């Protein structure tokens, strides 16, 4: 482990991770030689350039050095020198983090270590150096295994060398921090199972041979429960015995003849498991030895008898530092553990040196590095048990060792130093008890878990009844009493040590008979109690957990670390990696992490508000606020108004209401408006502060030797300085003004015409408190352990509405946990991270669900466009007549390239794909697998290759059809597509229409939005009965996509836009729920007026029509007249006569306002088509009236809105945040949908991507969802996560989109951009491997002309300090740079003077402080 370069309590790092030398450099004035000497200062560019590591890199492994005619020869001595001097090799102190960062920036691993690695001759220092550098890449989130892929064939040998470091001789040479670095490498390797090269090696460590480490009794139990594994185990034993016999025979042949007879006489056949099988058991023993060493330190006793490592004995510094001495002892004990596990004995060192070290040892303290090693190992086990491929065989080994029981009996577990260790063990216990079948991966239901538990209890009761008369009372007790921990322990206390050992080891087989711990009577009791006590339900714990954060959680650094998290120590947090055990495991991890991230954001807002308010006390000891905050205000009064009785089965009140009163008098207008705009369901926080007075500050100064009260206050944390006592959250029920009038009521209690402006300045908020938290507070007050916080609240805090939706999201996750979620069968394995990642691609989906013939509508602009879009097919056009002029159809094949373009029909087209699944092809190079994989899915044989090899391409049948005439009016002809889609975009559209999972990666400017709109367009027309959810991350992106969709051929009455962002939608109509309902009612009146006009023109008695009577009118008067007309014009008298159509058409007068002439009289067929179009117009009119009828029958607005959402709308658009907020409402409404299209999927949190998939209640355990289309770019911005620890450690900023790509899910990567000049696009197109430019950006004069006033297309400007000042931080995390702000404003003014329009200029900045400065 490396030491961090900054103190743990220092300011947060400005940048998340370094990716270059410039990222390592932070120029700060005033850092002197003392900081440099301590190793905790930052380096300047000049210092890096002059650093010896930089000089070594330039000379030995830089790009320039490697490209010389005679590159420098590899020097193993140089590797050893760097390992010893810079990476802490053989030293008791760990290396400085900044030295490792410098080596990483210089590409030490990929430029020197790996290219020169030799499995035979490379030293252990070389291997350890590689491990440390891989760990650094993981810490910096740089792709760690890319360098190793240059020589994949060497990686297995490298991994064997890594395993060789576990031998007693090699392990004895490692210091504690080196052992921890080795352990961290293993953690990182097991988190990289998506890499086939790594996966093939690490899974060997957790495969079936691992069960060699099981006790005999536990092994028999496991094999009896899994007959298939029992067969594999027998075959494994035979294979190993055969290999051992062959090795023995080979060894015997190599010995002299005389020695062979002696060896044969003394040899005893003994089968030793291979190194992979001994890896984890050896690490478990090492962990227990280190744990005993830590306990010895805490109790002041001597550590377990073990040898000190050779490195520690040889290093005089080992005796100079207490912590290093502790690490050396731990190293020795760990080495002894390895020796014992492998049947070896470590040599003893001089007793004198060890006695001297023991004399200087300080009892009662555990070394930090030893503690980190223990914590890392628990993290390692958690990672193994939280992934199904690694859990399968590891779980039994961990349980057989009774590791949890042994760790919980340690002194460290109950000590203050072991707080994080204790939390990690609790997380390990959760995964040990997770309800899952380890071998099938099937999650167990709650009732199955309870049933299995009581079956186990009944079995042990039968055992007691039959063989243990002294336990007869326990055998005859009910199951609940038999598994009660106190009663069980009390009953077993009567057994002797031998009896208890026989029961636990021989009969129950909970502990191995050769385990030394089996001699401990109390340990055996704990093992039995742990095995048979009732497990607590995690789901029940989640349901009883308060959702609002309190002061205890907000400032708990072990759960919510500071922003300066360096990754030096693990955290007791779940991780979001590739795989999950079950949907419940996925939801639980996301619930905890989302809750903690929300709490961190709340804490930041509270701290900012308290800093602005500056609470203090006057001379009368009254609390006064010297400052002000627009988000936080003093409370006038607070009281609990209602506490409802608990519901059946609950231990807390059903609801708790309170009233809090504030006074907005004296507030600025915009600040008061912010408080007045609060509405139902908004979340507020109540704070209680009691800052220390002057006398209390003086007492603190005296006790801390601070001198003055001001100095004492400066040394205090913010929570201590303001005297923060309590934080409680609540949800608004209603808001009232000074006269008691309801404000912002959307429940219908106040009619729209009765709403009035609020009266006065006093505002009363009726709040719904968290009942679970209220019960906890009441219990604590009753027990005398805490004061009554509800009498102390004196501040009320509100938050920005966009950042204050955490409660609704947590409720949605909790509701999902309590439901039986049904994920589509084709998606569930990929979602959990298992199976074939390409199984959900449309080419692998079952034939019955696939659309064989797709109507692409206006996707293709001409026939050549279609041919170019499917180069992997023989595109064959089916024409209406043969070439000879006879009736029938003919085919024009374009596969050979010999065809007449003029003979090809015009669009639109219906395309029939091959029925044979094996013939389904994709565009060459369009669909990839893996984040950076070069391989593509399916065949990529080009036309030229296919012809050269003589093979034939699959046939794609294309049928032209004439667009249906929908009426004579211009508005009857929808706007068509004008985008010439590239072949890759056409592949994305083809994939999106088919069932399954479609992933589209869209680099900047490649037309992601146009592709999404076209998918929706084609999907609607091919599956008109299906409903689609359209999801984006931001309102802006959703409005942009929705506006383009409105202009296409999807009727507006089928479109619905949900959420607050609808008000910013740049279209004429209102697409909100209320707007759509009003539009439908207004449209109803308009259509009924048309019916009345038609009736009068037809001479039908006029009456007041409704939607129902209009339907009768359609049947009796419209449809009947059309049928008579059709029969008349088809008769022998009129058929073929052009004038007859216009003469006989019954609705000519109705269409008199259409463009004339309606019927030209030149062609019978053309006039009949016009007549059919007119009839379709009428039919559409009455069909729309029929769809409007429910809005006529439903009288309430709420019922109309519900019908609109659940029945009428075919495309429902919302943000992912709105979906999470309203999930419960959608479930209650009965929302149904078949498809999901999500844009900006790379910027959405995992859970916010998942929630839209479960917004509907499944019926009969059948998932209705048919398509999931994710469009995004994982190379651009990830989801926003503010806490660095949740980013780096828990990977909360991982999107589902990025995870699917890591898993190897096929995706379509759009490969042509049309947004930026080629010179600008070259800045980022390298990241996408083949991103090209569309002809528009290379041929359009706008892109060819120079930018007036600028000499370059792009420019990087170094702005020097302004007036001697560079970057500043007026308040925490609020960064500003006045010089840069002045410069950018000058550039903006310059551009405006030259005539650049303001709406064409964008200014981007990374900090809110700089944004505010630029606006000023």
Q: What is the pLDDT of residue 920?
A: 65
> Nearest 5 degrees, angle CA 1242-CA 1247-CA 1248?
60
What distance in Å separates the CA atoms of residue 1319 and residue 1333, rounded to the nearest whole number? Answer: 10
List, in order, residues 6 or more apart from 409 with CB less than 8 Å away.
Answer: 522, 523, 526
DSSP-derived letter for residue 1105 is -
Contact yes or no for 816/593 (Cβ under 8 A): no
Mapped onto helix, strand or coil, the DSSP state of residue 816 is helix
* Cα dist from 428 to 383, 410, 541, whole Å: 9, 16, 17
Distance CA 531, CA 524 (A): 11
Rg (CA), the chain: 37
Asked, as a colleague might, if the bond just before 908 is cis with ω within 30 of 0, I would say: yes
Question: What's the CA gap between 128 and 183, in Å, rounded?
Answer: 11
**966 CB neighbour count, 10 Å cutoff:** 18
List average pLDDT for each run of 10 residues in the chain, which is 1416 residues long: 41 35 35 39 65 90 87 92 92 89 91 94 95 94 92 94 90 91 96 93 94 93 92 92 85 67 46 72 93 90 54 37 43 42 37 43 76 96 95 94 95 92 94 92 89 92 92 89 89 91 93 91 93 85 90 90 82 92 94 95 93 88 90 94 92 94 91 91 94 80 70 80 93 92 75 77 95 94 92 94 89 90 90 91 86 93 93 87 52 88 91 76 66 44 40 85 90 87 94 95 93 95 94 93 92 92 87 91 93 91 83 92 92 84 91 90 90 94 93 90 93 93 91 94 93 87 90 92 90 94 93 91 87 90 89 90 86 84 95 93 91 91
pLDDT of residue 376: 96
Decide if 44 contacts 25 (C-beta within 8 A). Answer: yes
Closest by CA to 982, choosing from 1312, 1332, 1335, is: 1312
Q: What tokens appear for 297 in the block?
A: 């330190």
Contact 729, 770 (CB under 8 A): yes
Give the strand pairing for 1055-1057 and 1211-1215.
parallel
For the question of whether the overall pTM of this predicted structure is more than 0.85, the answer is yes
What are residue 1371's DSSP bridge partners?
1374
Cβ(311)–Cβ(364) below 8 Å: no
Q: How many residues are given for the chain? A: 1416
For residues 517 and 94, what is the distance between their CA atoms, to the nearest angstrom? 34
Interacting residues of 960 by C-beta distance below 8 A, sequence separation 6+: 877, 878, 879, 880, 905, 906, 907, 908, 909
| Cα–Cα distance, 1148 to 1174 (Å, whole number) | 9
CA distance 845 to 23: 47
- Strands 996-1001 and 1267-1272 come out as parallel
């Amino acid at each position: 482990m490396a030491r961090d370069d900054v103190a743990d309590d220092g300011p947060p790092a400005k940048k998340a991770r370094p990716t270059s030398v410039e990222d390592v450099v932070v120029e700060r004035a005033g850092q002197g030689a003392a900081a440099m000497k301590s190793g905790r200062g930052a380096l300047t560019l000049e210092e890096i350039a002059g650093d010896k590591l930089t000089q070594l890199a330039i000379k030995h492994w830089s790009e320039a050095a490697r490209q010389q005619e005679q590159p420098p020869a590899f020097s193993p001595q140089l590797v050893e020198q760097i390992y010893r001097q810079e990476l802490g090799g053989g030293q008791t102190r760990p290396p400085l983090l900044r030295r490792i960062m410098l080596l990483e920036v210089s590409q030490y691993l990929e430029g020197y270590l790996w290219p020169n690695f030799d499995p035979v001759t490379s030293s252990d220092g070389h291997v350890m150096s590689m491990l440390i550098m891989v760990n650094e890449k993981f810490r910096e989130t740089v792709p760690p295994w890319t360098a190793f892929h240059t020589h994949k064939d060497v990686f297995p040998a490298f991994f064997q060398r890594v395993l060789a470091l576990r031998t007693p001789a090699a392990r004895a040479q490692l210091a504690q921090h080196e052992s921890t670095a080795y352990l961290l490498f293993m953690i990182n390797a097991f988190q990289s199972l998506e890499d086939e090269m790594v996966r093939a090696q690490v899974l060997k460590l957790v495969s079936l041979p691992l069960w060699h480490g099981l006790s005999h009794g536990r092994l028999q139990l496991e094999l009896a429960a899994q007959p298939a594994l029992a067969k594999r185990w027998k075959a494994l034993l035979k294979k190993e015995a055969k290999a051992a016999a062959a090795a023995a025979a080979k060894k015997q042949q190599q010995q002299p003849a005389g020695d062979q007879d002696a060896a044969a006489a003394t040899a005893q056949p003994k089968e030793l498991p291979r190194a992979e099988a001994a890896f984890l058991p050896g690490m478990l023993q090492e962990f227990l030895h280190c744990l005993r060493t830590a306990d010895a330190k805490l109790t002041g006793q001597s550590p377990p008898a073990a040898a000190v490592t050779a490195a520690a004995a040889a290093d005089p510094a080992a005796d100079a530092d207490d912590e290093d001495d502790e690490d050396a002892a731990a190293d020795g004990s760990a080495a002894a553990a390895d020796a014992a596990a492998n049947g070896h004995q470590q040599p003893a060192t001089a007793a004198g040196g060890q006695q001297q070290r023991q004399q200087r040892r300080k009892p009662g303290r555990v070394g930090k590095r030893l503690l980190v090693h223990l914590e890392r190992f628990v993290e390692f086990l958690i990672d193994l048990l939280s992934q199904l491929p690694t859990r399968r065989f590891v779980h039994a080994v961990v349980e057989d060792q009774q590791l949890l029981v042994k760790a919980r009996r340690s002194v460290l577990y109950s000590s203050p130093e072991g707080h994080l260790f204790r939390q990690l063990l609790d997380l390990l216990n959760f995964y040990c008890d997770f309800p899952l079948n380890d071998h099938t991966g099937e999650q167990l239901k709650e009732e199955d878990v309870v049933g299995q538990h009581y079956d186990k209890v009944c079995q042990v009761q039968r055992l007691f009844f039959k063989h243990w008369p002294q336990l007869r009372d326990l055998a005859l007790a009910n199951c609940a009493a038999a598994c009660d921990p106190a009663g069980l322990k009390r009953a077993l206390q009567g057994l002797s040590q031998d009896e208890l050992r026989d029961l636990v080891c021989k009969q129950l087989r909970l502990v191995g008979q050769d385990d030394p711990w089996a001699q401990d009577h109390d340990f055996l009791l704990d093992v039995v109690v742990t095995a048979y006590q009732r497990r607590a339900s995690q789901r029940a714990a989640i349901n009883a957990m308060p959702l609002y954060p309190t002061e205890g959680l907000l400032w708990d650094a072990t759960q919510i670390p500071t922003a300066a998290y360096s990754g030096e120590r693990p955290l007791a947090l779940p991780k979001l990696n590739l795989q999950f055990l079950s949907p419940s495991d996925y939801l639980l991890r996301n619930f905890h992490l989302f809750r903690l991230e929300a709490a961190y954001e709340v804490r930041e807002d509270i701290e900012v508000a308290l800093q602005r308010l500056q609470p203090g006390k006057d001379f009368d000891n009254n609390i006064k606020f010297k400052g002000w905050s627009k988000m936080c205000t003093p409370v006038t009064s607070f009281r609990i108004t209602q506490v409802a009785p608990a519901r059946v089965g609950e231990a807390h009140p059903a609801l708790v209401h309170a009233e809090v009163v504030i006074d907005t008098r004296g507030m600025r207008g915009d600040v008061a408006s912010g408080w007045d705009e609060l509405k139902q369901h908004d979340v507020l926080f109540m704070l209680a502060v009691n800052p220390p007075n002057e006398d209390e500050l003086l007492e603190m100064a005296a006790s801390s030797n601070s001198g003055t009260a001001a100095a004492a206050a400066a040394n205090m944390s913010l929570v201590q300085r303001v005297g923060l006592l309590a934080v409680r959250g609540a949800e608004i029920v209603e808001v009232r003004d000074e006269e008691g009038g309801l404000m912002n009521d959307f429940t219908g209690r106040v009619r729209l015409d009765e709403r009035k402006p609020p009266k006065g300045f006093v505002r009363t908020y009726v709040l719904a408190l968290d009942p679970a938290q209220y019960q906890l507070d009441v219990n604590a007050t009753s027990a005398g352990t805490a004061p009554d916080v509800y009498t102390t609240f004196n501040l009320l805090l509100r938050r920005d509405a966009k950042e204050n939706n955490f409660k609704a999201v947590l409720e949605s996750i909790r509701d999902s946990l309590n439901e039986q979620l049904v994920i589509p069968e084709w998606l569930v394995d990929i979602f959990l991270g298992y199976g074939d990642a390409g199984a959900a691609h449309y080419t692998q989906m079952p034939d019955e669900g696939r659309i064989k013939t797709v109507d692409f509508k206006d996707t293709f602009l001409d026939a050549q466009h279609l041919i170019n879009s499917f180069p992997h097919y023989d595109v064959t056009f089916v024409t209406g007549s043969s070439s000879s002029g006879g009736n029938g159809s003919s085919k024009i094949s374009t596969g050979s390239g010999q065809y007449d373009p003029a003979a090809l029909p015009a669009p639109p087209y219906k395309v029939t794909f091959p029925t044979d699944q094996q013939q389904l092809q994709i565009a060459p190079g369009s669909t990839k697998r893996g984040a950076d994989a070069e391989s593509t899915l399916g065949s990529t044989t080009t036309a030229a290759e296919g012809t050269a090899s003589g093979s034939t391409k699959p046939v794609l049948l294309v049928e032209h059809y004439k667009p249906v005439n929908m009426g004579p009016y211009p508005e009857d002809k929808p706007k068509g597509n004008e985008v010439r889609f590239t072949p890759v975009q056409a592949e994305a559209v083809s994939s999106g229409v088919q069932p399954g999972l479609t992933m589209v990666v869209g680099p900047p400017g490649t037309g992601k939005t146009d592709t999404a709109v076209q998918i929706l367009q084609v999907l609607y027309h091919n599956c008109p009965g299906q409903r689609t959810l359209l999801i984006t991350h931001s309102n802006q992106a959703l409005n942009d996509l929705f506006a383009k969709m409105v202009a296409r051929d999807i009727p507006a009455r089928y479109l619905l836009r949900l959420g607050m962002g609808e008000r910013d939608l740049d279209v004429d109509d209102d697409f909100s729920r209320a707007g759509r309902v009003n539009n439908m009612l207004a449209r109803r009146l308009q259509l009924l007026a048309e019916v009345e006009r038609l009736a009068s023109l037809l001479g039908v008695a006029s009456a007041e029509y409704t939607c129902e009577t209009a339907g009768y009118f359609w049947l009796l008067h419209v449809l009947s007249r059309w049928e008579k007309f059709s029969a008349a014009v088809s008769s022998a008298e009129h058929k073929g006569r052009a004038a007859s159509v216009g003469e006989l058409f019954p609705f000519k007068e109705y269409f008199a306002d259409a463009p004339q002439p309606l019927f030209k009289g030149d062609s019978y067929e053309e006039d009949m088509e016009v007549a059919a179009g007119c009839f379709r117009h009428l039919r559409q009119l009455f069909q729309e009236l029929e769809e409007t009828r429910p809005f006529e029958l439903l009288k309430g607005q709420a019922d109309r809105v519900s019908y609109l959402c659940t029945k009428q709308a075919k495309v429902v658009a919302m943000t992912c945040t709105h979906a999470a907020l309203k999930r419960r409402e959608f479930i209650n409404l009965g929302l149904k949908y078949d498809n999901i299209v999500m844009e900006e999927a790379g910027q959405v949190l995992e859970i916010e991507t998942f929630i839209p998939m479960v917004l509907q209640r499944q019926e009969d355990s059948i998932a209705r969802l048919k398509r999931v289309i994710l469009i995004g770019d994982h190379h651009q911005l990830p989801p926003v996560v503010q806490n660095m620890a949740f980013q780096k450690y828990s990977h909360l900023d991982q999107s589902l989109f990025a995870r699917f790509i890591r898993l190897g899910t096929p995706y379509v990567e759009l490969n042509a951009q049309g947004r930026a000049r080629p010179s600008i696009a070259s800045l980022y197109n390298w990241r996408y491997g083949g991103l090209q430019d569309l002809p528009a950006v290379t041929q359009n004069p706008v892109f060819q002309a120079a930018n007036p006033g600028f000499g370059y297309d792009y420019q990087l400007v170094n702005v020097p300090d302004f007036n001697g000042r560079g970057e500043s931080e007026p308040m925490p995390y609020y960064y500003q740079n006045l010089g840069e702000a002045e410069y950018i404003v000058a550039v903006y003014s310059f551009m405006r003077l030259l005539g650049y329009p303001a709406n064409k200029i964008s200014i981007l900045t990374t900090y809110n402080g700089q944004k505010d400065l630029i606006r000023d």
